[in-house]
Amino acid sequence: MIINPVLTVREKHYKLYLGNPIIVTAPGRINLIGEHTDYNDGFVLPAAIDKSITFAISRNKSDRFRFYSFDFDESFQTTDLNLKNAPQWVYYLIGVIAQFKKLDIDIAGIDCVFGGNIPIGAGLSSSAALECGFAAGINKLFNCKLTNYQLVKMAQTAEHEYAGVMCGIMDQFASVYGKKDHVFRLDCRSHDYNYFPLKMDKYVIALVNTKVEHELASSEYNLRRKECEAGVAILKNDRPNISSLRDVDHALLVSNRDNIDPTIYNRCSYVVSENQRVIDACEALDKSDFEEFGKLMYQSHEGLRKKYQVSCKELDILVKGTIDIECVLGSRMMGGGFGGCTINLIKRGFESDFENEISHIYKKETGIDPDFYFVNLSDGVSVMS
């Protein structure tokens, strides 16, 4: 774990490349509610967190891309964007470079050292932070003058093309547009967003890491996306002007029940309900009604578990384990699913009780000691010269 990230990446950059780099920091994200809604043109409620990746990036005078990852203690260099058999983390960086090249921006010769404290594979979007931070760094170094929105879209496309995950826009948007002490509701159709201050004097956001990562996660993710599209295709026969599940309500779904495969029906039904939950959750936030907010979190988990089927045994144990713990207002799986973290809203001052009780339950049932992160909401990507 890096203690002083800026100093550490700067020093390492100097040792490896003798360069004079710019420093970029890109955060991971949480999502309070609105899961698997982003690629359905729906609503999400994410925030950037105080876990991030720090980069030291400079231009070199060659056509060579040289990288060093602290987390993997691994170096890599190439001049070629058509890589085979490179370490996984390299593809995110190369994927970003490829997006700049597509815009005919002549990107060559980069030295980049990066590292941070976003746990990998925990569903906190370390990959989006990697893409967004690197994109922001290139934007500055090569004076490309691209907007934040363009950088978000390029980072998302890098994930599609180089990691093979057909993700929505939430993770990259959160890493760039995050704001300290705020969550934001993002309309994933128009990309309009509204910040909500999260007054956390009485509450804490606790993430619990299952420490499991299922192989199936990315293929199941892409499958869910296809299932939603299949649902829309059928519903279009009835209502030709719809283009995504965002345009669908329960009445339309129910009246088409006999035409839709039951699994697809459940996927669609979950998404329609989850979109409404994001709207309800924002109303609850406006009223500082955290009890109501917590209930919506539990409902979201139930939908993800039963209808969307992206939870797993370990996530369910963690969520179920909170039900009888008094200090917990809400709990649910977060992110793509099949492992990673749960997000929990708990009363401030009860952090260690929560940790003790959940550790005990989880260890007893799985043999694993879970990790806990009590996170604060932070600003998005920042670039320092």
Backbone angles phi, psi at 23, to 5 degrees: -115, 135
Residue (219 or 255) nearer to ligand GLA, CB: 219
Residue (95 or 335) nearer to ligand GLA, CB: 335
Query: How many Cβ atoms sit within 10 Å of the Cβ of residue 14?
Result: 15
Instruction: For residue 16, give both structure tokens.
Output: 């490896």
Q: How far is the CB of 39 from ligand GLA (least distance, A)?
A: 6
Q: How many CA atoms lie within 13 A of 319 on its CB side?
A: 28
Measured distance CA(111)–CA(113) in Å, rounded: 7
Measured distance CA(242)–CA(249) in Å, rounded: 11
The span of 32-40, 104-112, 246-254, 295-303 binding ligand GLA (CB under 6 A) equals 32-40
The site that binds ligand GLA (CB under 6 A) totals a number of residues, namely 10
- Burial 85-110, CB ≥16 within 10 A → b, else e: eeeebbbbbbbbbbbbeeeeeebeeb
Instruction: For residue 7, give both structure tokens.
Output: 């100093």
With beta carbons less than 8 A apart as the criterion, state whether 83 and 90 touch: yes
Q: How far is the CB of 221 from ligand GLA (least distance, A)?
A: 7
Residue (19 or 336) nearer to ligand GLA, CB: 336
C-alpha to C-alpha distances, 205 to 216, 328, 329, 375, nearest whole angstrom: 28, 10, 10, 6
Please give the residues from 164 up to 183 whose contact with ligand GLA meets the rule CB under 6 A: 167-168, 170-171
Binding mask 313-352 for ligand GLA (x = CB under 6 A): ----------------------xx----------------
Catalytic residue among 38, 41, 71, 171: 171
Q: How far is the CB of 118 from ligand GLA (least distance, A)?
A: 13
Instruction: For residue 81, give both structure tokens.
Output: 């964007």
Q: How far is the CB of 340 from ligand GLA (least distance, A)?
A: 9
DSSP for 187-207, written as a single string:
ETTT--EEEEE---SSEEEEE
Measured distance CA(30)–CA(282) in Å, rounded: 16
Please give the residues from 125 up to 164 whose contact with ligand GLA meets the rule CB under 6 A: none
Residue among 36, 153, 185, 307 that touches ligand GLA (CB under 6 A): 36
The span of 30-38, 206-214, 232-240, 299-307 binding ligand GLA (CB under 6 A) equals 30-38
Considering only CA atoms, which of 174, 218, 188, 153 is closest in space to residue 30?
174
Instruction: For residue 205, give both structure tokens.
Output: 């956001």
Residue (32 or 57) nearer to ligand GLA, CB: 32
Residue (38 or 71) nearer to ligand GLA, CB: 38
Residue among 9, 10, 19, 38 that touches ligand GLA (CB under 6 A): 38
With beta carbons less than 8 A apart as the criterion, state whether 281 and 37 touch: no
CB within 8 Å of 368: residues ≥ 6 apart? 210, 211, 212, 314, 362
Residue (152 or 284) nearer to ligand GLA, CB: 152
Instruction: For residue 30, give both structure tokens.
Output: 């949480």
Q: How far is the CB of 264 from ligand GLA (least distance, A)?
A: 18
Q: How far is the CB of 311 from ligand GLA (least distance, A)?
A: 12
Residue among 39, 43, 68, 270 that touches ligand GLA (CB under 6 A): 39
Residue 111 a catalytic site member: no
Please give the residues from 206 up to 235 whose contact with ligand GLA meets the rule CB under 6 A: none
Residue (35 or 227) nearer to ligand GLA, CB: 35
Residue among 10, 19, 28, 35 that touches ligand GLA (CB under 6 A): 35
Q: How far is the CB of 218 from ligand GLA (least distance, A)?
A: 10
Q: Give catalytic residues, as residue numbers.
A: 171
The site for ligand GLA (CB under 6 A) is made up of: 35-36, 38-39, 167-168, 170-171, 335-336
